[in-house]
Structure 1
Amino acid sequence: MQIADLGDIRLHYRLDGPEGGAPLVFANALGTDLRIWDDVVGHLPEGLRILRYDMRGHGLSDAPEGPYSMGQLVRDAEQLMEHAGMKDAVFVGLSIGGMVAQGLAAKRLDLVRGLVLSHTAAKIGTRQIWADRIALVQAQGLGAIVEDTLDKWFSPDCHDRHAIRHMLERTPVEGYTGCCHAISGTDFMTPTSGLRLPALGIAGADDGSTPPDLVRETVDLIPGAQVRLMRGAGHMACVEKPAEYAEILSGFLTAQGHV
């Protein structure tokens, strides 16, 4: 287990692949941890230097008292990459991780040379939606939202939800609601429209949280970016169809000369 002490936060992370390999960073979705990428990593080309981490408030990372800001989450990623000696990376972010990716690219182009915006958007939901979610979780715990969340996250044909259910149920309430506050206060439409770097969007045809049209709306802000639609997959396409997800990601890395 690797823990980076960044001063105000300790983050759990994992590094795979050879030192000096092309850097690739993964950021997880709300209510999950770095394990959502396990099967994807196993299908990627050899030689990559891969950094995965548990977002603030998730997994084995610290869960300080919230609310959190998106600026904090972006700074966490920034400092962790510096801690790991990574720059010029392709950054893959899913859901809230995709918002972190956008914020980091707008702030530190020396760290990010390419973006993969997976099942995400520049703005997700409304303040009222997130306020209602926060109030429900604070009152009743994560168990109150698990079934509805899983129904939105997975395609109707996916019946193996156990691992993600376990992650959701074990996420600290403070960490989950803290990150909900960060999403609620974020609108990256303007900064993302100013990005000029290689970018790819990945959307799930059965995603009930960030539908394909929402993903496309954001990705279209970046000139030259394209969207790949994964049919028969929902919000957690990296878990439902890891081989197909890895194939799409590998194609993007190859096109950018990053393998």
Structure 2
Amino acid sequence: MQILSRPYGALHYRLDGPEGTPVVLMANSLGTDLRLWDAVLPLLPRGLRYLRYDKQGHGLSDLGQADRIADHAADAEALIEAVATGPVVMVGLSIGGLIAQHLAAGRPDLVRALVLSNTAARLGTPDSWQARIDAVEQRGMASIADAVMERWFAAPFRATPALALWRNMLARTPAAGYVAACRALAEADHRQATAALRLPAMVIAGDADGASPADLVRATADLIPGATFHLIPGAGHLPCVETPAAHAALMTPFLERHAR
């Protein structure tokens, strides 16, 4: 296990791939840890280094305040400066996509290209996130798990035994870390900053995504000049879990073109 020391404590990360090669930084969704990418990683191009990490208050990482996207972007910035030898391609899913947009806008010298998966420049509303926070604070993480599984996955995946593992991952996420990330999402509106981005970008949606519907994701792609939009049939909110071959097939040519 690899740890980056941050002012609030430990940030857990993992780095796979040959030394001295370009880095792809992968930022996870709300309620997941770096294992989110396990199925898709072996399908991505070789000759690159893949840097994954647990957001604050998730997985094995400590929690600072982390109630702004800027707090999470500061962790990503520190990881790049500590581990990478140059600018990275950043792959962000859900809240990870907002972290990626924030970092690309604030530190364009560190991000050469973006893959934004199942995300948007604005996700949900302050009221919807407050309702989620209230449910977790009053009844615990398990109380939201079944509803979140319906938003994350299409019906065929929900019928498989693998669903239990993802439900457990969500339910065992520390409530304080989850709530802090919800507060960050509630105040995050990156539409103006994302519209000012000028870098290669690929945007991916799933047509069965109940958390970030395809039209919302497409609208974010439309903000970035030259961005391409791709829709994965049968995929929910986590295509790297549910349809890893299709997710990798989209990312591979983009990474081969822009990561080196």
If the length of structure 2 is used for normalisation, what is the TM-score? 0.96
Q: Secondary structure at the match of 2:229?
A: strand
Counterpart position of 2:125: 126
Q: Deviations over 1:91-135 (max 9, x none)?
A: 000000000000000011111000001000000111011111101
User: What RMSD in Å do the two structures reach over aligned CA positions?
Assistant: 1.1
CA 1:17–1:67 in structure 2 vs 1: closer, same or farther (change >3 Å)? closer
Q: Is the 8 A contact 1:6 1:80 kept in 2?
A: no
Partner Cα distance (2:51, 2:109) in 1: 17
Q: CA 1:122 to 1:86, structure 2 compared with 1: closer, same or farther past 3 Å?
A: farther
CA distance in 1, matches of 2:23, 2:38: 17
1:72 paired to 2:71 = yes
What amino acid maps onto 1:155 in structure 2? A
Counterpart CA distance in 1 for 2:21 and 2:225 is 28
Alpha-carbon spacing, 1:163–1:194, altered in 2? closer, same or farther (3 Å) = same
Contact conserved, 1:25 with 1:50, CA < 8 A, in 2? yes
1:141-189, Cα deviation, whole Å (9 max, x unpaired) = 1111000000111011113312211210110000000000000000000
Map of 2:236 onto structure 1: 234
User: Is contact 2:22-2:84 (8 Å) kept?
Assistant: no
Structure 2: gaps of 5 or more residues: none
Whole-angstrom CA distance in 2 between matches of 1:10 and 1:87: 23
Q: How far is 1:241 from its partner?
A: 1.0
- Deviation of 1:251 (Å): 1.6
Cross-structure match for 2:40: 40
CA offsets, 1:196-231, max 9 Å, x none? 000000100000000110001011111000111100
Q: Tell me which amino acid in the other structure corresponds to 1:98.
A: G
Question: SS of the residue aligned with 1:116?
Answer: strand
Any conservation in 2 of the 1:63–1:172 contact (CA below 8 Å)?
A: no
Deviation per residue, 1:35-65 (Å, 9 max, x gap): 010111111121111100000110000024x
Choose from 188, 206, 227 the match for 2:190.
Answer: 188
Residue 25 of structure 2 aligns to a residue in which SS?
Answer: strand
Task: State the 1:85 CA deviation.
Answer: 3.0
Q: Quick one: which amino acid aligns to residue 47 of structure 2?
A: G
SS in 2 for 1:115: strand
Aligned to 1:11: 11
Partner of 1:135: 134
Give the superposition deviation at 1:70.
1.1
The aligned counterpart of 2:57 is 57
Partner of 2:94: 95
State the aligned residue count: 257
- SS of the residue corresponding to residue 174 of structure 1 reads helix
Identity %: 49
Contact 1:9 1:56 in 2 (8 A): no
